[in-house]
Structure 1
Amino acid sequence: MTQNRWPLPPEITERIIDLLCLDRRRRYFRYIYANLPGTAQYAGVCKEWQELVERRTFRNLRLSRARLADVDRIVCRRRRTYVCTVDLNVELEPYGAEVYGDFETAEETARNSSLFSETLRLFFDIFSRWTPGNSGLHRERAGISLRITAFSPSDVGRCGKAEMTRRDGDIKNHDIYTDRYIHSILQLLPAAGDLPVVESVSEVISGKARHISAPAWALIINSLPNAKKIGINFWENEKKDLELRKRLRDEIGDALARMRCPNAEVTLTCSYEAPKDHSSIPPILTARGVDDAFARGMRTWTRQLKRLFLSGVVISPEMFYAAASDEEEAASEHLEQLEVTYAAVTPHGTWLLEFNPEDSPLDRPSPVVDLDEYHPDSLVREVPAPEDMYEYDFRTRPVATEMDHIHQGVAGLCGGCRHCRSCILLPLMGRSSGVAGTMLSYINMMRIKVLALHIGEACRDIHRPKTWLSFGRRWRRFEGINLRF
């Protein structure tokens, strides 16, 4: 068979290879199925089979630092055109059971940042020599989808099922699981050094594992000029160290101001969780009306985007529009769609929700942990932040004045968007049952959708919204805009 020409037409041959190679129970990435074990051997059947099989075996590359050294040797120029997705797994240093109950030290974080930086720079150096083009298997899709995931082989979910079973059953040694590295954020070193430009990547995604710093993501994205679809995660959920949280928030704002991704569709998650105890006072991150680094960075960054899906974030009106800014700064030339899912608190220490008198009163529950059961030395590790000590979620009704400020800020942004078609604001609410649940179904979303054909003219009128006073109205219409409560 290897010496004779394959007798069947290409369509039937491709169907046969799909049946032999594809594991339809597993997917690498969205539309791409995993390969069955032993798929590569079919490339030796005949010349006609070789290309079809290699299109499947090289469409997804799972690379580590060790495997990067072989990329140039194995993935020749012809095979590069078959690559659709690249999973870059950045493996950090392992650790033993003796430190399962300890937080990662600054020295460990520094060593991990060094490994992370070496791997990233090696990847960008190799792939900077790849030319952009369509993938072989999906010709309608241009470029490569890159997923970056950093983890230690000793981390939860990475150490293997047997080790996790042993850890769960070990009652003698204290294990804090993912809390061990919750405060460890990987940096790209040196911070001032740019990465080589990679033009073959059209999409970049953050894997769900260790935190990667916002400045590192800025350097990565700035080195991917053709990445028009971006999905990244920032960690902004520090609850026990207020000064650290403020620094992280400012760091994110500065990184966003430097990030270049024109006309991109971006999904950004900041991972913030609102206080579970609604009787607590939210932390004060900035004074009311202050144009801080986070707000400035978000405004600057949003101007260049085509679509933005933002979630897990504490928002303020200044994030979207600053009255003191000039028209050039406020304008967003490309923004077509904005969707924001935000926490029900403000950065100046107030709630966006209040108790609804129509709701049944809730009794204050017991704390989520019994402090009497823990030794004082372990409290810093196991006890939640004070704002999460009680699951007391009695706030269900929006505070009209606070909501109105946010809506006016967003409307100011949309007023400078010549192509804006849709804007959705969705606060993360509390209870959703009874009378409060019925009301929430009306008011938990503000949707601004331009209805006129001349979108630019309609958008310029959004900066004069009416005050949000009537919660019972399901629709309010003004100047070509629909607000749904």
Structure 2
Amino acid sequence: MATIASLSPETLAQILSYIPRDHDNLMVRLARIRDGGPIKPFSELPPYATVCKTWQWHIEQRTFREINLPSSELENFSRLMTGHRRAALREVKYQVVLPEYDDAACAVVETEEDKKVNDASFTTAVTELFRLVKRWEEEDEKDLSRTGSSVGEGLVPLSLEMSQIYSPSDANKRNGGLLGEQRMAVERGERSDLFEGRHCDSWLRLGPLEGVPELKIVTKYAVSPSYPRPVEAESIARLARKFPALEKLDLQIMERSEDFEVRRKDRYDFAVALLSLSSLPLTSFSLCAENTCPRYQFQEPPSILLSDTDHFSLALYAISLIPTLKTIDLKGPIMISPQLFQPPVALDSAFASLANRAPQWPSLRTYSVIFSTVRPSGSWYFVRHPNNPVSHDFVVPLEPEFDSDRGTEMFRTYPDDEAMDGLLAAAGKAKHNMPALQMMSLTASLSLEDSEDAEFEAVWFKAGQKNYLDHRLGEQPVRVGNEAFIGGDHVYWWTGKGGSWRPKRKVEKAWVGEGNQQWFKGYPQEEEEEDDEEDEEDEENEEDYDDNDDDDDDDDFEMGGL
């Protein structure tokens, strides 16, 4: 009679594939989260590893493939990860554990000394992980050399994610029941505790990385949101330089809400760090750079630039030029300028090398940007809609307090001609040097409303590319027919509350070329009959181009810095 141990590896693997990896019981999961446990469900696989040695090997091929690793457990982890377990490892989600603090410290904000201790702990945790992985890498290289295999092709790639940074004493890491009692005690005046406020203005920073080894096996590096323990963006990017074979880079950063001098320096430092990554063999780059869009639209926001140059957009431009890059995804919404697609003539020393790089994107297939309504230069991409003028006796309202629940009018819904034409022209011109491109998207969020009608979009698709946006053709059919429209290169324009706005004809031509386009409207505007007639006239001409109609100045395509 056949025993479990006598089954073939293929048969056993098939049997074990029916074992659920994670616990999907919602009530159990909610109870665990309430008690301060992890959000992700626990794995149900480990107990089956005790059945027999054969099962252990098969189970551990799955359970050790992806590891959630607190830095406090690094020593135990290094002892466990031997033999087939280490060979199975493909992804490490690293949690940096900072020093604990006592009850008295909960009542005061972190001191400069506290911040230095946390920075040192952060740097040590990163260094120790890298040294461990480097030791594995060197052992694998020796094994490959003994067998005569190619080291470059034989190393098993590893994905690294910085998933959490916290102290066990932080409010969000305390037991749920205890935390609730502590909050009630604070309300009763029986306890002093700032909770998240203790460290909300503390930004972690990596120290010097000279002692941190390079890791050739890391091909994917991701940094998830770490609120309320944010990390300086420059540190996040600087660490990526330690991965010379990196293919996929996914960064999520936060912007400080401090004074603009600090934000200007942060943006420049991050730009310099990003620029140094433009020599990596990336195939995919994703960046979520959260910045606070002003709720008060009655004044121009301050410039966030140093020396009138948008170094941040230039750094992203440099990364986009990586010959192997196939996908770039920028969101936040992210604050950008036309320099994202074309550098200015004059560059400072740190970015001077960009002047010698041809604007060519040989492998790029997808370019997606969700951009802020605010320009880095301190102005806006949008103005008040012409059909929504202010009355002669209009009084500008006072700016509400930061934490006020009093709303303010979000009136900037109509693209500013000069600003939007400049951005669209830069993107359209760059698009012609992207031979592999399948999709380019520029989207702006216009308000706090969760509505498709509150957005501006310009989305170009290569002929034959189907997308979720195609559903709009059922709501607003095109003259040439839906199949013919999608069958050629095509552009979806969405102006939301911007209504009848159009870019200059040359800018529009740079996007559409000889392809198809369709303009979609959002919320209906209260228009006079003359406006309706003008709209109908515009629609008749949307898909037809007469180059002789437009003799605009050549400055339509000037890409000067903002």
Same fold (TM over 0.5): yes
Counterpart-to-counterpart distance in 1, 2:86 and 2:276: 31
Q: Which has the higher helix share?
A: 2
Counterpart-to-counterpart distance in 2, 1:124 and 1:109: 23
Are the equivalent residues in 2 in contact too, given 1:128–1:198 (CA < 8 A)?
yes
Residue deviations 1:3-28 (CA, integer Å, cap 9, x gap) = 9663545455335434556225289x
The worse-fitting range, judged by mean Cα deviation, of 194-203 and 227-236 is 194-203
Give aligned-pair identity as a percent: 22
Counterpart-to-counterpart distance in 2, 1:306 and 1:194: 33
Counterpart-to-counterpart distance in 1, 2:197 and 2:416: 34
- Tell me the residue number matched to 1:428: 445
Counterpart-to-counterpart distance in 2, 1:482 and 1:156: 55
Q: Secondary structure at the match of 2:414?
A: strand
Distance 1:153 1:399, change over 3 A: same
Say which of 186, 204, 207 aligns to 2:204: 186
Are the equivalent residues in 2 in contact too, given 1:202–1:228 (CA < 8 A)?
yes
Are the equivalent residues in 2 in contact too, given 1:88–1:146 (CA < 8 A)?
yes
Residue deviations 1:301-338 (CA, integer Å, cap 9, x gap) = 22113311111221111232125275734333433221
Q: Secondary structure at the match of 2:93?
A: strand
Q: Secondary structure at the match of 2:22?
A: strand
Distance 1:389 1:415, change over 3 A: farther
- Tell me the residue number matched to 2:296: 277
Distance 1:161 1:213, change over 3 A: same
Distance 1:345 1:101, change over 3 A: farther
- Tell me the residue number matched to 1:153: 168
- Tell me the residue number matched to 2:329: 309
Q: Secondary structure at the match of 1:309?
A: strand
Distance 1:20 1:337, change over 3 A: closer
Counterpart-to-counterpart distance in 1, 2:96 and 2:430: 38
Q: Secondary structure at the match of 2:234?
A: helix
Counterpart-to-counterpart distance in 2, 1:275 and 1:224: 37
Residue deviations 1:205-241 (CA, integer Å, cap 9, x gap) = 21322222333223322222333222112222x3341
Are the equivalent residues in 2 in contact too, given 1:229–1:264 (CA < 8 A)?
yes
Counterpart-to-counterpart distance in 2, 1:438 and 1:340: 16
Q: Which amino acid aligns with 1:408?
A: A
Q: Secondary structure at the match of 2:437?
A: coil
Q: How many residues align?
A: 434
Question: Aligned runs of 1:96-245 on 2, under 5 Å?
Answer: 96-100=102-106, 102-131=108-137, 143-148=157-162, 149-169=164-184, 170-171=186-187, 172=189, 177-191=195-209, 193=210, 195-209=212-226, 210-236=229-255, 238-245=256-263
Counterpart-to-counterpart distance in 2, 1:310 and 1:177: 33
Deviation at 1:122, TM superposition (A): 0.7
- Tell me the residue number matched to 2:457: 445
Counterpart-to-counterpart distance in 1, 2:197 and 2:384: 33
Deviation at 1:268, TM superposition (A): 0.6
Is it true that 1:411 corresponds to 2:428 in the alignment? yes
- Tell me the residue number matched to 1:372: none
Counterpart-to-counterpart distance in 2, 1:285 and 1:279: 18
Q: Which amino acid aligns with 2:441?
A: I
Distance 1:431 1:21, change over 3 A: closer
Gaps of 5+ in 2: 30-39, 142-155, 346-353, 466-497, 520-562
Distance 1:87 1:239, change over 3 A: closer
Are the equivalent residues in 1 in contact too, given 2:310–2:337 (CA < 8 A)?
no
Deviation at 1:439, TM superposition (A): 6.7
Question: Aligned runs of 1:335-346 on 2, under 5 Å?
Answer: 335-346=364-375
Counterpart-to-counterpart distance in 2, 1:419 and 1:323: 25
Distance 1:440 1:213, change over 3 A: closer
Distance 1:484 1:430, change over 3 A: farther
Say which of 64, 67, 75 aligns to 1:61: 67
Q: Which amino acid aligns with 2:414?
A: R
Residue deviations 1:423-464 (CA, integer Å, cap 9, x gap) = 11111211669xxx89756xx1012334499xxxxxxxxxxx
Q: Which amino acid aligns with 2:135?
A: R
Q: Secondary structure at the match of 1:70?
A: helix
Are the equivalent residues in 2 in contact too, given 1:92–1:152 (CA < 8 A)?
yes
Deviation at 1:120, TM superposition (A): 0.6
- Give the structure-1-normalised TM-score: 0.77
Are the equivalent residues in 2 in contact too, given 1:400–1:469 (CA < 8 A)?
no
Q: What is the CA RMSD across the aligned residues, in angstroms?
A: 3.9
Distance 1:484 1:229, change over 3 A: farther
Counterpart-to-counterpart distance in 1, 2:357 and 2:517: 27
Q: Secondary structure at the match of 2:254?
A: coil
Is it true that 1:328 corresponds to 2:357 in the alignment? yes
- Tell me the residue number matched to 1:17: 16
- Tell me the residue number matched to 2:552: none
Are the equivalent residues in 1 in contact too, given 2:367–2:441 (CA < 8 A)?
yes
Are the equivalent residues in 2 in contact too, given 1:396–1:429 (CA < 8 A)?
yes
Residue deviations 1:16-75 (CA, integer Å, cap 9, x gap) = 434556225289xxxx98522xx4443342332121111123122222233222333221
Residue deviations 1:108-149 (CA, integer Å, cap 9, x gap) = 22211111111111111111233489xxxxxxxx73332212
Are the equivalent residues in 1 in contact too, given 2:223–2:236 (CA < 8 A)?
no
- Tell me the residue number matched to 2:33: none
Is it true that 1:295 corresponds to 2:313 in the alignment? yes
Distance 1:275 1:395, change over 3 A: same
- Give the structure-2-normalised TM-score: 0.67
Question: Aligned runs of 1:391-406 on 2, under 5 Å?
Answer: 391-406=408-423
Are the equivalent residues in 1 in contact too, given 2:90–2:158 (CA < 8 A)?
yes
Are the equivalent residues in 2 in contact too, given 1:365–1:392 (CA < 8 A)?
no
Distance 1:438 1:25, change over 3 A: closer
Are the equivalent residues in 1 in contact too, given 2:237–2:270 (CA < 8 A)?
no
Distance 1:44 1:286, change over 3 A: closer
Counterpart-to-counterpart distance in 1, 2:193 and 2:410: 30
Distance 1:74 1:447, change over 3 A: same
Is it true that 1:471 corresponds to 2:501 in the alignment? yes
Q: Which amino acid aligns with 1:471?
A: W
Q: Secondary structure at the match of 1:204?
A: strand
Gaps of 5+ in 1: 134-141, 370-382, 454-467
Deviation at 1:76, TM superposition (A): 1.2
Are the equivalent residues in 2 in contact too, given 1:130–1:199 (CA < 8 A)?
no
Distance 1:52 1:478, change over 3 A: closer
